[in-house]
Structure 1
Amino acid sequence: MPPSDVTTVFNAEPGAGIITTCTKVDGVTLPHALGLALMLILDRHGIYTPCLTADHAYATLLVASGTGHRLAGAAPVSVHSGPDAWLALPPSNGMRWDTPPTLHAPLPDAEAIRPHLERAVRMAARCPGDLS
Structure 2
Amino acid sequence: MGPINTSVPERASRTYRELLGWPVTTGHRYRPRSGCTCGEPGCSTPGAHPRREVAVLTGDEVALGGALIAATRYFDALVMPKETGLATLAALGEAVVVPCVVDETRAVLLVRAATGQHALENGLLPTVELRTGPTGWIALPPSHRTRWDTPPWHDRTGHPVLLPHGQEIRSHLLEALGHGRHAGAMSDVCGPVLGGFPEYCVYCERLVERTEETLLMLGFSASGARPSLYAHPECPKPRQLAPKRARRA
What are the within-5 Å matches in structure 2 for residues 28-39 of structure 1? 28-39=78-89
Deviation at 1:73, TM superposition (A): 2.3
**Structure 1 residues 86 and 5 mapped into 2: Cα distance closer, same or farther (>3 Å)?**
closer
Tell me the residue number matched to 1:6.
Answer: 10
State the alpha-carbon separation in 1 of the partners of residues 69 and 160 from structure 2. 23
> Any idea what the Cα deviations from partners look like across 1:62-117, whole Å, max 9, x if unmatched?
00000112224246200110011111100000110000001343100011110111
Q: After TM superposition, what 4+ stretches of structure 1 lie above 3 angstroms from structure 2? A: 7-10, 123-126
Asked if 1:80 corresponds to 2:131, the answer is yes
TM-score (norm 2): 0.45
Asked if 1:95 corresponds to 2:99, the answer is no
Asked if 1:115 corresponds to 2:181, the answer is no
State the alpha-carbon separation in 1 of the partners of residues 112 and 79 from structure 2. 14
State the alpha-carbon separation in 2 of the partners of residues 29 and 5 from structure 1. 23
Structure 2: 5+ residue runs without aligned partners?
1-5, 12-59, 154-158, 187-191, 198-249
Whichever structure has more strand as a proportion of its residues is: 1
Q: Which letter maps to 1:118?
A: L
What are the within-5 Å matches in structure 2 for residues 16-55 of structure 1? 16-44=66-94, 46-55=95-104
Structure 1: 5+ residue runs without aligned partners?
none
Q: Percent identity?
A: 32
**Structure 1 residues 76 and 5 mapped into 2: Cα distance closer, same or farther (>3 Å)?**
closer
Supply the RMSD in Å over aligned alpha carbons: 2.7
State the alpha-carbon separation in 2 of the partners of residues 127 and 105 from structure 1. 33
Larger Rg: 2
Q: Which letter maps to 2:92?
A: L
TM-score (norm 1): 0.81
Deviation at 1:5, TM superposition (A): 7.6
Count how many residue pairs are aligned between Structure 1 and Structure 2.
125
Q: Which letter maps to 1:98?
A: D
